Structure 1
């Protein structure tokens, strides 16, 4: 690719950011949806053609689209993928725009780098493309549209248990507050009896372990921000979404841990149109780290 439409790239950042801001201002969190498990399974969205799970900001975009339009599936296809599978998108259906991050080297920079005998600098860009939910398609093969059985609650809890046990993080149970200490690399969560709903203990544990993925020995995120600072709000946003993504992958419906941070998150997003993209990307990496622990991988 030799040229990129700068206005289109910027408008995509702005468009998605404004959408997230509107949700937050209305008191809704895009990573905590009103799931109806009997209609649409709580899981990460994935491409029905490649089987690949969507990540980062696309999770928020597709979750919101699926809930708003009442889809029964978290599986998506491009128009061409639907045709390649032997089916088609129904006439009149409107797709959901997602984005793909990549990098390219401008022609001028490539020439300059050759002259100066150095590596060429690349430029990041977003490419938008449209996907359709399986509910918007017809005549797809049976194996593609077959219902996916939800994860049984006991298996979901067992998966969360494996994440905790295999994390390598010192995990303490006790006290009246849940927290993660980057200095000591320690997670502490109150005993399960302190939670009205037992599943909330696992949600809380995953949230704090989401913070732990940012330790300098792991993903090395900035965790130096003091309470009330923008850096603190950004890290809290990453942990919130990381927990939500991991919960959904494990079959646990996500919930919000810190809705009182909405104001701080709004300030961060209003100040930087790329902030939600960076946070969602970091959250996906953190969730992948958590899920790898659950599978016994480091």
Structure 2
């Protein structure tokens, strides 16, 4: 009888790789699942009030980056109303501090796995083996190198970040957990709207109102917004305004997202995906809906089309979206946001005044959405999506490739046509839009010809008319 071979012990690199893959997949699955229910001004989260930023109970520090995204998504999916999180060991510490309380994790409750980074420093010897360095060794090594010691020359110090899992539980999952010692002030609707206005103004990103659609124009670095009275509800206006402001944060003078990549339809699609994810997180944080656009429902489609379903692409987009949400939180707390591009606090009053003057020039009144909704029936349906012909008119009227590309991405038929023209998605936006314009013109001619053709009785012998698809 043969004996089973013992399982090979995994090294730290294998463990790090596996926990990263599990973490990335879980974030991507939650994000894609929520995207399926988003759009049409619906909120895909179940909580009935805005959520706070997740933070550790024992340290008071908020979670950051990808861990913050994971916890916010979990709260959205589970409907948690508490933003406090802690490990089992930290729960034991809280229990020790409150001996009169009987605290226990609810039966069947499952924790959330987060990632703890650990940076390794090492040198590679002549035999190819790695020698790990402690902090003390690192200092000694740096001092020797600075003094020119070491013959032959000392090898370069290399660094690698590994990730290890740890599990946290939400305070909402713990029976008998103490209530918050200091309840955070929940902003009223008016306070929330004023905060969004103030935040956007203090970013230094100019906003100008006009009679067209909402978009960000990178050529002049400006957000263009429809007049507030064109929105059914104030929430719609501010959700859309934040969405377009997120696009503006990708400018070369800020997060520099777009300038690092080629300007093609693939990269533009990922920028739209990042903006939709930001809209989802900001919506849960400030009780705003996701802007009504087909792109909200296309997060999954874009991921499958442009990255082959790579979960890392969704994860990276979520992590980048979280950066701007963190900036908003720091601003909300009265702090100077840590992002290097964010204007200094002493300039904020002047920036707010500049935006107020732009609004005055265009005649935009921020109270208009509330007045508009009072004048409408709450049962009025949302406007139907633009027809093929209306979308074509908008495409032809757009005056820059970025605006044209967004119209392509937000129309299912347009996107299919564009992908057939540009299967590798590597063509520049300008050349793709020029080529697409010719195809669109032919498609419109074909649609008009079909409508104008006289209707004849069917004889059963006519060959079907071929529908043009480029």
TM-score by length of 2: 0.53
Q: What secondary structure does 1:172 align onto?
A: strand
Gapped runs of 5+ residues in structure 2? 1-10, 125-129, 142-151, 337-341, 343-470
Written as runs of structure 1 = structure 2, the 5 A alignment for 1:1-298 is 3-4=12-13, 5-13=15-23, 15-16=25-26, 19-20=29-30, 23=33, 27-28=36-37, 33-37=44-48, 41-86=50-95, 88-90=103-105, 92=107, 93-105=109-121, 108=124, 109=130, 117=154, 119-144=156-181, 148-222=184-258, 226=263, 229-249=265-285, 251-256=286-291, 257=293, 258-262=295-299, 263-268=301-306, 270-291=308-329, 295=334, 297=336, 298=342
Q: Which has the higher mean CA deviation after the structures are superposed, 9-18 or 256-265?
A: 9-18
Mapped partners of 1:226, 1:284: distance in 2: 23
Q: Deviations over 1:27-84 (max 9, x none)?
A: 135xx633332xx543332223323333344344323433444433222111111111
Mapped partners of 1:225, 1:190: distance in 2: 29
Mapped partners of 1:172, 1:178: distance in 2: 10
Q: What secondary structure does 2:247 align onto?
A: helix
Higher Cα radius of gyration: 2
Q: Deviations over 1:167-189 (max 9, x none)?
A: 21221111221111222111101
Q: What secondary structure does 2:162 align onto?
A: strand
Q: What secondary structure does 1:156 align onto?
A: helix
Deviation at 1:210, TM superposition (A): 0.6
Q: What secondary structure does 1:126 align onto?
A: strand
Mapped partners of 1:18, 1:244: distance in 2: 13
Gapped runs of 5+ residues in structure 1? none
Mapped partners of 1:287, 1:72: distance in 2: 19
Equivalent residues of 1:100, 1:128 under 8 A apart: yes
Deviation at 1:107, TM superposition (A): 6.2
Q: Deviations over 1:138-192 (max 9, x none)?
A: 4444445x65553211111111010122121221111221111222111101011
Q: Which has the higher mean CA deviation after the structures are superposed, 178-187 or 237-246?
A: 237-246
Q: Does 1 or 2 have the higher relative contact order (CA < 8 Å, sep 6+)?
A: 1
Mapped partners of 1:170, 1:183: distance in 2: 13
Equivalent residues of 2:123, 2:155 under 8 A apart: no
Equivalent residues of 2:51, 2:81 under 8 A apart: no
